[in-house]
Structure 1
Amino acid sequence: MGNVVLVTGVARQLGGRFVRRIQRDPRVERVVAVDALPPEHPLGDADFVQADIRQPTIARVLAETGADTVVHLDVTGTALGSGSRSTVKETNVIGTMQLLGACQKSPAVKRLVIKSSTNVYGSASRDPAVFTETTPAKSLPSGGFAKDAVEVEGYVRGFARRRPDVAVCVLRFANILGPAAETPLAAYFSLPVLPTVLGYDPRLQFVHEDDVIEVLRIAANEPERGTLNSGTFNIAGDGALLLSQCARRLGRPTVPMLLPALTWAGSLVRMLGVTDFSPEQIRLLTHGRVVATDQMRETLGFRPGFTTAETFADFARSRGPGLLPPEAVAGAVDRLAALSVPGSALPAQSAD
């Protein structure tokens, strides 16, 4: 890892955790933590610089600190504090453009790590069963965070062509969950009742927030022998879960709705500020998304500590019991499934 590491997006829990983690690396002499808002959590011995990456001042910050490694975490789908969707988009896209422009002018920068998302693949009915890093999206995202991520990656590819001397690593994270997760899907799973799309049971993948911190650390490090810490990598825990399985494990009932009704309900809850039930999230909850992680293991050399199921279990424990005990939900679903099989019968009830 470089001697001076600059990290953006440190006002969020994920950014704060990463800043605290890399300070324990003996090869890091200084950590520069950047955000437009002061963080409410500790940053250890990092030097906090209050700066908006949408402004040209980020170039001065980069030049004055002499950072040789830049970890860009300020690419997100949710607003911080009282921020709006337009502010988030400007930070994602305009902020990334300003940061890349500053990196291009800085001869000290030798490594760049970008936090991206598997949202770049979109979610559509004609999607392949599993996306690889080179699979083109059947239908490019038309808005929201997914479109931001596509634009961000486009600017990063342009930067990589202009500065071939810089090692660029793009990490496409699956849905991030964990006890402290601040993501749209975490907000959705925290609802007392989960609205779903009638007739669909999508496959979902998750990555644990602890694994996110660890893979960011690996990507920001100088590569070990036999590995290459540059390129684009899907990051996800092993396996997948159906949305119905997630609901059962949370103990939360589902309300299947026709797609037009769910779209209308999503607009309503967004206006009420309950959760960010965006069109892209509705598409995910309709068609799902699963990605291959071979390159993550073979090239980047990272193996997650949590599977998708283990990640969701840890998240579920942090949210407490749902309206219905998970065992009761599971039992009811299993009985309904048994009734649909010819010749099957419900198990005999005990007299106790």
Structure 2
Amino acid sequence: MVTGASRFLGGYLVTRLAQDPGVERVIAVDTVSPSKDMLRRMGRAEFVRADIRNPLLGKVVRNVEVDTVVHASTLTRAPKSGSRAAMKDMNVIGAMQLFAVCQKAPSVRKVVLRSTSAVYGSTSKDPAKFTEEMSARRPPSGAYARDSIEIEGYLRGMGRRRSDIDVSILRLAPLVGPRLNATVAQYLTTPVVPTMLGRDARLQLLHEEDALSALERATVSGPAGTFNVAGDGAMMMSQAIRRAGRIEMPMPGPLFRGAGRAIMGPIMRSYTAEQLEYFRFGCGLDTTRMRSELGFEPRWTTMQAMDDFIKAAGLTDIVKKEWIDSAESALLSLAGAPRKGAR
């Protein structure tokens, strides 16, 4: 059973599991129905429209004798018609009730949680790479990060009470890819990108296909444990902006959000506190356990994942190279200096 089936990761994970002959039955769950295209892709999977806080879910788990549950429906921000309290109720209370169902169901043998690297926070005092045993250097300010920390705690508690259930937690790095318009992707699609003066965030990213493959691996044959999941290598925010052909505009921290709204419009207003902190400091992950224990090897490095997104989005240089060369030649002529290539 997979929760969050109407969203990108949940929906495409259901699609992969439905195509696996080794998986007998797939139940897709969400509060809203997936698109017609996604339903078609899901094939033999059965969709149940239900809230994870609804007792109906317990009946589904018991009647179908679900043995593996993948929880991928954590909200990253408050719903449009709701508030922070509504977000916490759906995230934390919903997860508690889902895990209670799993604990009571004799058939359940594995629970996989799609978590996030946001649990580590983003500060100037962070290590180069966080291992799974580390925690945030200061409590994250964002609601999504705080909810994710609580959800992980409740899942580990359920695992202690039911030692026969394998508990797997995947802390995914920020996602990029050709089909997913996620946080980093949105940030780099505006012509002018505001950045924090004196800061150059260190980014470690995960391609959307690698995220799906890691979740599939954890669901089908992965061991219990907590795993950082990210592509190899890292890139600086300034590098990402240049590769996307955008124009970087550094500004003092106090002006970042206000001036950023004038530059980026509604996109800046949509960013949460933890997302803005990430743009300022970034976050690096140690993925040794991902390889040695989970047995997963990403296909895309951080740089390759970024380039795949840029190619799919059709981003081109805002300032053409020809314009730069022309301006440079004009300035050199005014200065009386020889032009490039002149002997």
TM-score higher than 0.5 here?
A: yes
CA shift, 1:153, in A, is 0.8
Amino acid of the structure 2 residue aligned with 1:349: K
Give the partner amino acid of 1:53: I
Looking at structure 2, the residues matched to 75 and 89 of structure 1 have their Cα atoms a distance apart, in angstroms, of: 10
Deviation, structure 1 residue 190: 2.2
1:303-318 to structure 2, matched below 5 A, reads 303-318=297-312
Within the alignment, does 1:31 sit opposite 2:22 as a pair?
Answer: no
Question: Aligned residue for 1:9?
Answer: 4
User: In structure 2, do the counterparts of structure 1 residues 304 and 8 end up closer, same or farther at CA, with 3 Å as the change threshold?
Assistant: same
Aligned CA distance change for structure 1 residues 264 and 14 (closer, same or farther; 3 Å)? same
Cα distance in 2 for residues equivalent to 1:206 and 1:298:
20
What residue number does 1:99 align with? 98
* Residue aligning to 2:163: 164
Structure 1 residue 90 displacement after superposition = 2.9
Q: Is the 8 A contact 1:251 1:322 kept in 2?
A: yes
2:333 is aligned to none
1:338 corresponding residue in structure 2? none
Partner of 1:151: 150
Give the equivalent residue in structure 2 for 1:19.
14
Q: Say if 2:231 and 2:300, in contact at 8 Å, map to a contact too.
A: yes
C-alpha contact 1:269 1:276 (8 A) present in aligned 2: no
Alignment of 1:61-76 (within 5 A): 61-76=60-75
Kept in 2: contact 1:78–1:184 (CA 8 A)? no
Change (3 A) 1:327 1:44: farther
SS in 1 for 2:69: strand
Q: Which has the larger radius of gyration?
A: 2
For 1:95 and 1:68, the matched residues in 2 are separated by 19
Deviates more, 1:289-298 or 1:145-154: 145-154
**Does the aligned pair in 2 maintain the 1:267–1:277 contact within 8 Å?**
no
Letter in 2 for 1:219: A
SS, match of residue 70 in structure 1? strand
Q: 2:293 matched to 1:293? A: no
CA contact (8 A) 1:263 1:279 kept: no
SS at structure 2 position matched to 1:255: strand
The structural deviation recorded for 1:7 is 0.3
Q: What are the within-5 Å matches in structure 2 for residues 208-227 of structure 1?
A: 208-223=207-222
Q: Following TM superposition, by how much is the alpha carbon of 1:60 offset from its aligned partner in structure 2, in angstroms?
A: 2.0
Task: Tell me how far apart the structure 2 counterparts of residues 132 and 249 of structure 1 sit (CA, whole Å).
Answer: 29
Following the alignment from structure 2 to structure 1, what is the Cα–Cα distance between the partners of residues 148 and 47?
Answer: 26
Unaligned runs of 5+ in 2: 329-336
1:258 aligned to 252, 258, 272, which one?
252
Flag the 1:325–1:316 CA change in 2: closer, same or farther, 3 A.
Answer: farther
Rate the CA distance shift 1:190–1:79 in 2: closer, same or farther, 3 A.
farther
The one-letter code of the counterpart of 2:140 is: P
What whole-Å deviation, never above 9, does each CA across 1:185-204 have from its counterpart, x for those lacking one?
A: 22222223211111101100
Secondary structure at 1:26's aligned position in 2?
A: coil
Residue 284 of structure 1 corresponds to 278
Mean CA deviation greater in 293-302 or 144-153:
144-153
Deviation of 1:114 (Å):
0.3
Structure 1 SS opposite 2:185: helix
Write the distance in 2 (CA, Å) between the matches of 1:266 and 1:11: 31
Q: Hey, what does 2:108 align to over in structure 1?
A: 109
Q: Structure 1 residue 185 and structure 2 residue 184: aligned?
A: yes
**Which letter does structure 2 place at the counterpart of 1:131?**
F
SS for the counterpart of 1:30 is: coil
Contact 2:261 2:268 in 1 (8 A): no
Q: Secondary structure at the match of 1:196?
A: strand
2:261 and 2:269 in contact (8 A); partners too? no
Q: Which residue matches 2:200?
A: 201
Report the 3-state secondary structure (helix = DSSP H, G, I; strand = E; otherwise coil) of the residue aligned with 1:27. Answer: coil
**Contact kept in structure 2, 1:249 and 1:326, CA below 8 Å:** no
Structure with greater helix share of residues? 2
1:74 touches 1:91 (CA, 8 Å); kept in 2? Answer: no
Structure 1 residue 271: Cα displacement: 9.5
User: 1: CA distance between counterparts of 2:20 and 2:104?
Assistant: 27
User: Structure 2: which amino acid aligns with 1:114?
Assistant: L
Q: Percent identity?
A: 42
Give the aligned partner of residue 57 of structure 2.
58
